Structure 1
C-alpha cells in the first residue's frame, strides 16, 4: 500500500495504517442532529404540560398522565424525523397509551408516585386536583364525551378529532354538544349553591 504525497508528487510506502474514519455510526450530520434536537426541545417544552393535562381530562390520575406523557414524548423523539404533525401524533399516541393502561391490570394499587419534573411533589396531587375544580365534572362525563372534550381542550377541531379517532364528524359534534350541556348544567348548579 502506498500513500501519495501531494507536496512532491511521489508515492511513499505506507508505514501507518489508514485512518478508520469517524467512530460514530453513520447517520445525520452533527448540524442536522443539533437542528432536530433544537426542534424537538422546543416542541417538548411547549407541549409536555398540555399533553399531561389532556390525559388528566381523559380521566387519568396525575402521576399516570405524567408517566404516559413522558413515554410518548420519548417515542416522539425517537421517531421525530418521520412525524409530520407532531402535536396530533403525541395526542393520538397518548390517548392510545391511556386506553392500554386502563385495560391492563398489572398496575399495583398501592404504588407511591415518584417525584418528576412534571410532578415535583407527589403528595400535592390532591391539592392540585382541588384547584382544578372542573376535573370532577369532566370525570363524570361518559367516556366518549370526555374524550371529545379532552381533544377539544387540547385545541383540535371536531373534524380533526373525527379523523384522529376514526369516528364520523357528526358523532364527535354530538358528543361535544352533550359534554358542553353537562358542563353548563354543572356550572349553573355550582353557582346556585354559592
Structure 2
C-alpha cells in the first residue's frame, strides 16, 4: 500500500505512463485549412509539447472515467485546437487538460445522440493503444470510474502536479473543496487497494 499511496501525494512529481507514441500525421502535418503557428520556433515547441504531454494527457482523461479510445480522441481534439491558437496559449499544460475534458464531455454527448453514420477515426497509432497500465494504475482507473466527477477531477489534476489552489482556479472550486474531494477519492482508492490485497492472499 505504501507504493500506491506515495503516488497519490500532491507534492510528488507526476509520473509519465509507459507509452510508445508515434506522431499523428493528421495532427502534426497541419492541414492547410487550419491556422498554425507562424514561427518555426513555435511549431517546434508545439511538436515537443505533443511528444511530451500527449501520453500523460490521454491517461489524465482516462482518470475522468473515459475508456482508452475516448481518452485518445479527446486528447487529440485538444491538441488540434491548440495547434490553431498555439502562440496565444499562456499555460499549455492546464489549457490542454481543460480542453481535453470538455472534448470528453462533447464526445459523451455525441454518443448519447449518435449520428446515422460515425466517421472513421483518423489514421496513425492511437497513443492509448500503447499505454501499458500496471496493476496499481489499472486499479486507480477502475475505482475512479465509480466516483463522483468532482472527486475524479480533484484526483486527476493533483496527480498531474497541480496544487489545490491551481486546481481550484481551473475547476471553479474552492481549494478546500478540492482537498475534500481529493481526500474522499484517496479513501476510496485505499479501501479498494486493501480489498485487492486481501483477495490475493
Smaller-chain TM-score bracket: 0.7 to 0.9
Whole-Å separation in 1 of the counterparts to 2:134 and 2:144: 12
Q: Structure 1 CA distance, aligned partners of 2:127 and 2:59?
A: 12
CA RMSD in angstroms, aligned pairs only: 3.2
Q: 1:113/1:145 Cα in 2 relative to 1: closer, same or farther (>3 Å)?
A: farther
Equivalent residue of 1:70, what SS? Answer: helix
How far, CA to CA, are the matches of 1:103 and 1:174 in structure 2? 28
Q: How does 1:95-114 map to 2 (within 5 A)?
A: 95-104=101-110, 105-107=112-114, 114=121
In the superposition, the TM-score normalised over structure 1's length comes to 0.73
More relative contact order in 1 or in 2 (CA 8 Å, sep 6+)?
2
Equivalent position to 1:38, from 44, 54, 69: 44
1:84 to 75, 87, 90: 90
Give the number of the structure whose residues are more often strand, by fraction: 1
**3-state SS, counterpart of residue 155 of structure 1:** coil
Alignment of 1:161 with 2:161, yes or no, is no
Moved more, 77-86 or 152-161: 152-161
1:48 has 2:48 as partner: no
Match of 1:140 in 2: 146
Relative to structure 1, the CA distance from residue 113 to residue 49 in structure 2 (aligned partners, 3 Å threshold; closer, same or farther) is farther
Greater Rg, structure 1 or structure 2? Answer: 1
Distance 1:56 1:170, change over 3 A: same
TM-score (norm 2): 0.70
Shift of 1:164: 0.3
**Structure 1 alignment gaps of length 5 or more:** 1-26
What is the aligned residue count?
163
**1:42 to 1:70, Cα distance in 2 relative to 1, 3 A:** same
Partner of 1:5: none
**What is the match of residue 126 of structure 2?**
118
Contact (CA 8 Å) 1:72, 1:90: kept in 2 or not? yes
Equivalent residue of 1:81, what SS? helix
Structure 1 contact 146–179 (Cα < 8 Å) conserved = yes
